[in-house]
Amino acid sequence: MKKIMSLLLVLVLVFSFVGCNSTATDPVNTGSSNTGTETSSGTGTETSEPDEVYVVNLGITGYPTNTNPFTQTQQVDQNALRMYETLLSQDANSLEYVGKLAESWTVSEDGKVWTIKLREGVQWTDGEAFNADDVVFTFGIILDNMEDETATFARKADVKVIEKIEKTGEYEVTFTNESSVSNFVNTPLSSLRILPEHIWGSMSVSEMLNFTNLTPVGTGPWKLIGEFNPQNTDLEYERNDNYWGQVPHINGLLYILFENSDTMFQAFKAGTLDMFSPSGTQATALDTEANVVVLKNMQPKLTELGINSWDDPASKGNPLLLNTNIRRAIDFALDKQVLVDNVLKGVGYAGSTLVPKSAGKWHLDIPHEYNTEKAIALLEAEGFTKFETVDISGREVEVRVNDKGEQLLFRFALLTNGYAWHYRDSMPFIVKWLEDIGVGLTIEPMDSATLGATMKLDSESFSDFDMYIWGWTPGYDPGFILTVLHTDQIGGRQEVMYSNPEYDALVDLQITQVDDNERMKTVHEAQQIIYNDAPYIPLYYQGYYDAYRNDKYEGFVQFAGDGTIFNDETYINLKPIK
């Protein structure tokens, strides 16, 4: 069990850091993809060494589970992978794709061949030189094992369009794709973290997938201090002074784990933390605090009620939930706007379809219909016309039953992690609404690691759940979130073990459509299928609040103008205030 750092310990730890000022020149970094035309991105300059140490303290309520990019699937793990880089990334201001480990790139006229010129002079943090071998290895090992179901690389879906990757120079690689790809700059060029071939290349596939990677070696602006341990309560980085680009102005980042959002809130008010994400109530309370800035964060996010949809005889889920009418009845029974108003305090939108509303045109706009009469009609059409009284945690609850004696009584996994506060705050509403239509829920509290194990093929607890609440931060392009429910992702990214060949075909098709209008039509058709089948019931597209202290640091960057401040460009640009 994780030990949670007490507030006193945090205070002692943080106040051991003292600091002063450092300055640097911010680089101009531009670049985008063009058909048959080379596009370049600029390089950065190093800062002078500050006289004293400055470490930015960030509050978290969920600790990373691993530092292995080949197996990482949980959002919380992102904080443990900051030493790695991708070939491209999305600029926080323009949202254009710019070079990271790629210096420039060209695309053939037919859109199938991408030639990537890599940066020269980049070093891994162990001093070895980065080159094309590292890129070919990272992509190649996944491509070579696409048909091996036991090779559970998390990013298989990202590379499935690639026919081959070749080293065409010491600092050049060429991708040949099966067809033109609509979002290749996003997936996979901005999603696969490049790994050092000289460390990982000698391992077997099994060894790679089980590698604990305690001392990660990367090319990024940050280096992990000490060995990674998922049982720790803090995660500390120091800056990489040999970084190829803009070296951070600050000396390090310290992620501090809190047991819940309340203790984290108190630590922020006390000045222990420099930035965190408050709840709606906490954000209101911070309005009168001096030297505090609170921002609305409206980046694309999805919180879903997931339903075990695995139709395999080995499934440990309740087979009644394979009935799409029962799943749709659950959706109709939920007054999602109430969750937005009361749980999110108005910062968000009621959910309906798979792609979040903030993704703009890619979102299929079907307003959610809260209709208990429709929900009841669907259940009764399936034969659930009678009631039985059951005991749920000492309460007598009337649940529907059919002539076979099958009850509409389901297990509900509820995360205990601090970041899941809005899941827990939503549950009293959800329990009541479902009981109103004759559906009972038995709540099973668990942490994310326990729930995550039920979604891994090699786990003894695989598929041992009925329903849960969890979420994604899928980005502005719809490609990622659509692939989550692809059959290929069962045992990978996908949690609900849903499979629909028609949906799979649409997801595969949209990847190849370079015409935005054609792709948008396909993306919408895919979302309509998920809306009808309801393996995911989107509860809301939650906004968040981000808060930071403006008396110690400046340079916070809000992604896309209304997104999160917890992003790479913030961490690079932060400067101590004199």
Contact status, residue 8 vs residue 72, Cβ threshold 8 Å: no
Q: Report, as an integer, the average pLDDT of 46-54.
A: 66
In terms of Cα–Cα distance, which of 376, 456, 464 is closest to 413? 464
Q: Report, as an integer, the average pLDDT of 460-480.
A: 92
Backbone angles phi and psi of 507, in degrees to 5: -65, -40
Bond from prior residue into 445 cis (ω within 30 degrees of 0): no
Burial 223-262 (b: 16+ CB within 10 A, else e): bbeeebeeebbbbbbbbbeebbbbbbbbbbbbbbbbbbbe
Contact status, residue 467 vs residue 413, Cβ threshold 8 Å: yes
Contact status, residue 75 vs residue 64, Cβ threshold 8 Å: no
Burial 422-432 (b: 16+ CB within 10 A, else e): bbbbbbebbbe
Q: What is the distance between the alpha carbons of residues 396 and 225, in angstroms, rounded to a whole number?
A: 53
- Output the CA torsion 173→176→182→184 (10° steps): -30
Mean pLDDT over the full length of the chain:
89
Q: Which pairing describes strands 97-99 and 88-90: parallel, antiparallel, or unpaired?
A: antiparallel
3-state secondary structure of 414: strand
- Whether residue 25 is predicted with pLDDT greater than 80 in this model: the reply is no
Q: Report, as an integer, the average pLDDT of 114-136.
A: 98
Task: Collect all residues with Cβ–Cβ distance below 8 Å to 290 and sequence separation of at least 6.
Answer: none
Q: What is the DSSP-derived secondary structure letter of residue 42?
A: -
- By CB atoms closer than 10 A (0-12, 13-18, 19+), residue 290 is exposed
Q: What is the DSSP-derived secondary structure letter of residue 574?
A: -
- Whether residue 76 is predicted with pLDDT greater than 90 in this model: the reply is no
Q: How confident is the model at residue 108 (pLDDT cuts 50, 70, 90)?
A: very high
pLDDT of residue 49: 53
Bond from prior residue into 535 cis (ω within 30 degrees of 0): no
Q: Report, as an integer, the average pLDDT of 135-153.
A: 95
- Whether residue 69 is predicted with pLDDT greater than 60 in this model: the reply is yes
- Whether residue 498 is predicted with pLDDT greater than 90 in this model: the reply is yes
Beta bridge partners of 297: 544
94 vs 33 pLDDT, higher one? 94
Q: What is the DSSP-derived secondary structure letter of residue 120?
A: S
Q: What is the distance between the alpha carbons of residues 1 and 450, in angstroms, rounded to a whole number?
A: 12
The C-alpha R_g of the chain, in whole angstroms, comes to 24
pLDDT of residue 29: 27
Measured from the Cβ of residue 453, the count of other Cβ atoms closer than 10 Å reads 15
Q: Which H or E element spans position 512?
A: helix 501-512
Give 225-265 as a DSSP string.
Answer: -S---TT-SEEEEEE-TT-SS---SSSEEEEEE-SSHHHHH
377 vs 46 pLDDT, higher one? 377
Measured from the Cβ of residue 442, the count of other Cβ atoms closer than 10 Å reads 13
Measured from the Cβ of residue 111, the count of other Cβ atoms closer than 10 Å reads 17
Q: How confident is the model at residue 565 (pLDDT cuts 50, 70, 90)?
A: very high
Contact status, residue 461 vs residue 135, Cβ threshold 8 Å: no
- Whether residue 34 is predicted with pLDDT greater than 90 in this model: the reply is no
3-state secondary structure of 163: strand
Q: Report, as an integer, the average pLDDT of 310-337.
A: 96
| Per-residue pLDDT tens over the stretch 511-549 | 888 888 999 999 999 999 999 999 999 999 998 899 999
- Whether residue 158 is predicted with pLDDT greater than 70 in this model: the reply is yes
Beta bridge partners of 256: 59, 234
Q: Which two tokens stand for residue 423?
A: 């899941």
Count of residues in the chain: 578
Q: How confident is the model at residue 345 (pLDDT cuts 50, 70, 90)?
A: confident
Q: What is the distance between the alpha carbons of residues 52 and 249, in angstroms, rounded to a whole number?
A: 12
The distance from CA 536 to its chain's CA centroid, rounded to whole angstroms, is: 16
Q: What is the distance between the alpha carbons of residues 237 and 414, in angstroms, rounded to a whole number?
A: 31
Q: Which two tokens stand for residue 27?
A: 């680089």
- By CB atoms closer than 10 A (0-12, 13-18, 19+), residue 56 is buried
- Residue where the block lists tokens 């670049």: 31
Q: Which H or E element spans position 294?
A: strand 292-297
E strands, 309-392, where?
A: 348-350, 386-392
In terms of Cα–Cα distance, which of 240, 231, 107 is closest to 176? 107
Q: What is the distance between the alpha carbons of residues 416 and 422, in angstroms, rounded to a whole number?
A: 11
Contact status, residue 310 vs residue 300, Cβ threshold 8 Å: no
- Whether residue 48 is predicted with pLDDT greater than 90 in this model: the reply is no
Q: Report, as an integer, the average pLDDT of 115-127.
A: 98
Backbone angles phi and psi of 307, in degrees to 5: -125, 125
Q: Which pairing describes strands 252-257 and 55-60: parallel, antiparallel, or unpaired?
A: parallel
Q: Report, as an integer, the average pLDDT of 192-216.
A: 97
Question: Which of 1-15, 283-297, 491-505, 547-561 shows the lowest mean pLDDT across its residues?
Answer: 1-15
- Whether residue 270 is predicted with pLDDT greater than 90 in this model: the reply is yes
Q: How confident is the model at residue 449 (pLDDT cuts 50, 70, 90)?
A: confident
In terms of Cα–Cα distance, which of 219, 25, 222, 199 is closest to 119? 219
3-state secondary structure of 409: strand
Contact status, residue 486 vs residue 501, Cβ threshold 8 Å: no
Q: Report, as an integer, the average pLDDT of 41-54.
A: 58
- Whether residue 15 is predicted with pLDDT greater than 70 in this model: the reply is no
